[in-house]
Structure 1
Amino acid sequence: MISCNSETNDNPFSEVTISETGNPTPEEILSNDPNADIFLIGDVVYINAEDIRWVKELELTIGDKSGEIKKNTTNSSEFESYTANKLPIGTVIYSPVEKSGPIKIVIIDNKEIRYLGMIEG
């Protein structure tokens, strides 16, 4: 968002305010959907993508381990890196071999579940 102050005729853009936007936070995601299945790595929230057709249709191969869930919480303000609200502690998170954007893969009960990173941009 940009705002301009044109009180002077010399420079109509003498005051420019730029508001930064960033990736959605756990608080924002869970306030919109309290039942969302999410985890956080760094400043990126990953959301369960089982209902997102284009993510499901990607041909992906499980690659390197990205980390594992270290903490569970339902309190969105307590999220830190490798915290989840539904995945159990110890769940391994993988990156796909293919360069597919911000997608991570977990395996629960022998089922592959894909998560999409919510990146502003």
Structure 2
Amino acid sequence: MYKRALLMMLLFSIILAACSNQKAPRESKTVNDNPTPEDILLENENADIFLLNGIVYSNAEDLEWVTEKELTLGNEIGEIKKQTTNSDEFENYTATKLLVGTKIYEPIENSDIFIVKVDGKEIRYLGLREG
């Protein structure tokens, strides 16, 4: 009887150990979670985005309400430091399309839009936020 119980416990331990090696499924997002570079690039591997202060900003040239919004170019707040399409390498001031050295400006008006200058042209990027 003792050998049988010991054998059952050993078998049970092996099964538990085998199961613990599996990757845990990705936790589902709550309503207030902002999208990550990984979220965006999984949906569109050609997305034109950059990361700033933990917020993903996406090229908003095709959003009429963003392009029509009256904004005045304000202070430079930084520049792109890294370019990659690998979401694991994203950190603040990393972009998928913008070149290293591209300046990022904050409009004088308080908004969730930043402006970059590329070849003298102003391009607006909208912060992607949930909730």
Tell me whether the two structures share a fold, i.e. TM-score over 0.5.
Answer: yes
Deviation at 1:66, TM superposition (A): 1.4
Deviation at 1:20, TM superposition (A): 6.4
Mind listing any 5+ residue stretches in structure 1 that lack a counterpart?
A: 1-18
Letter of the 1:113 counterpart: I
Residues 36-76 of structure 1 deviation map (CA, whole Å, 9 limit, x = unaligned)? 10000021000000000100000111001111000111101
Moved runs in structure 1, 4+ residues, more than 6 A? none
Aligned length: 102
Q: Name the structure 2 match of 1:95.
A: 106
TM-score under structure 1 normalisation?
A: 0.80
In structure 2, what is the Cα distance between the partners aligned to 1:57 and 1:20? 29
Q: Name the structure 2 match of 1:13.
A: none
In structure 2, what is the Cα distance between the partners aligned to 1:56 and 1:70? 26
Q: Name the structure 2 match of 1:73.
A: 84
Report the structure, 1 or 2, having the larger helix content: 2
Mind listing any 5+ residue stretches in structure 2 that lack a counterpart?
A: 1-29
Q: Name the structure 2 match of 1:116.
A: 126
Q: Name the structure 2 match of 1:35.
A: 46
Letter of the 1:102 counterpart: D
Report the structure, 1 or 2, having the larger strand content: 1
Q: Name the structure 2 match of 1:106.
A: 116
Q: Name the structure 1 match of 2:22.
A: none
**Which of 57, 60, 83 pairs up with 2:71?**
60
Is the deviation greater in 20-29 or in 90-99?
A: 20-29
Asked whether the 8 Å contact 2:78–2:105 carries over to 1, the reply is yes
Secondary structure at the aligned position of 1:112 is classed as strand
TM-score under structure 2 normalisation?
A: 0.75
Aligned CA RMSD, in angstroms, stands at 1.1
